[in-house]
Amino acid sequence: MTNLSGFTPNEMMTIAAARALSNDDVCFVGIGAPSAACNVARLTHAPDITLIYESGTIGTAPNVLPLSIGDGELCETAITTVSVPEMFRYWLQGGRISIGFLGAAQLDRFGNINTTVIGDYHKPKVRLPGGGGAPEIATSCKEVFITMKQTTRGMVDKIEFYTSFGHGEGGNHRERLGITTKGPTLLITDLAIWKPDPETKEFTVASMHRGVTRDIVQETCGWKVRFSERLEETPPPSELELTTLRELQARTERAHGRKKGA
């Protein structure tokens, strides 16, 4: 039997993110936590979800989690594979993707993402992996979900570089720039589920995971946190959800020759 009392914050984050996806979604998947969440959804409540990766694979159903967008597992299990220009121009910019799933190195209260650089751009403290397809995903998908671990280094009052545009300065900033998609509509962390305020677009805590307090949420966030008036507790993982995630991770570790915890 699965030990439901012993799930980790990262497991809760992944499962909460998976629950947000529906059977009818066409989802542009990022590597890492987004990939785990999307595949848990596919293996549980959303078997007909269409998963698309940046390399051009459409309708993937990997048995293990890919190490990168170029992992052969994606192409082998895809319904079809198209060129990257077709993926971006026809599928993404053509408005055919319902959900874009992104991670972030830095995030601000309006869902703007930095994955480019920490510090001065020309003399950085840290050079991050860059945007890849994330800037296009952030503006062209009908809506965007974000997953990340809460830390004051990651969730900051002001990001140091705008890699992927969220809600900009808040309010109707996207609309003023001529961006017609919804932008970030959900932020799932290892502590809570956040949703943008309908008017200001500032991320607000809608639900906290079991055992998490308001103080913990604030201590791990770099801006003054707003909490919903109808604050809820995130339902803990079910046996099916937790077993599915752990078996997927175990298969991935065996496939890539890593021992658990390595």
Distance CA 21, CA 195 (A): 15
- Residue 144: closest CA among 136, 154, 152, 156: 136
Per the CB < 8 A criterion, the answer to whether 145 and 103 are in contact is no
Annotated catalytic residue 54: yes
Q: What are the helix (H) ranges across 6-156? A: 9-19, 33-43, 72-77, 84-86, 134-140
Pairing of strands 113-114, 106-107: antiparallel
Amino acid identity of residue 192, one-letter, is A
- Taking phi first (over 0 means left), then psi (-120 to 50 degrees means alpha), and beta for anything else, what does residue 187 get? beta
- Residue 192: closest CA among 179, 204, 175: 204
Catalytic residue among 54, 160, 202, 241, which? Answer: 54
Per the CB < 8 A criterion, the answer to whether 153 and 108 are in contact is no
Distance CA 259, CA 253 (A): 6
Distance CA 218, CA 223 (A): 8
| Active centre residues (catalytic) | 54
